[in-house]
Amino acid sequence: MSINESSEGKLTPKQDTLIALLLAGVNIVAAAQQVGIAQATAHRWLKLAHFQAAYKTAQRALFDQALTGLMNKVDKAIVTLDRNMDADINTPASTQVRAAQIVLEQAIGVYKIGELEAKYAELERMVRDSGLAK
């Protein structure tokens, strides 16, 4: 694939491999070596708009996958917190207090996010109503 084709937005197989290696935590020097390109080429690719877009999309997908795994553990975490908050006399008070603290901090965080979402929605409505939105 020529440089012109690459700049149109299609990734080459080597660019795909570089992204995969970077997402796996391989540093750019080692990733470039594994792909069979110069380090300068890897750095140049990182500046290309279509490469950056593909890299960010892949990062988001990886993050979403990690969040899904985390969400699958929420119920277990809540049960664990409840068990430790309501624990019997043999559970140290510090464990019970820490569990309660975590629950309160998370509840406050959820409340604040809800407030921010409401404010954001209101701002969107105001922009839309003002005719400034495209």
pLDDT in tens, 72-108: 887 887 887 787 777 777 778 788 778 878 878 888 8
Tokens representing residue 122 in the block: 């209101």
Tell which residue, 15, 20, 32, has the closest CA to residue 62.
Answer: 20
Tell which residue, 47, 21, 19, 48, has the closest CA to residue 34.
Answer: 21
Range of 32-36, 74-78, 126-130 with top mean pLDDT: 32-36
Handedness of CA 83, 85, 89, 93 (dihedral sign): positive
pTM: 0.57
The backbone region for 92, taken as left when phi is positive above 0, alpha when psi lies in -120 to 50, beta otherwise, is beta
Which pLDDT belongs to residue 133?
64
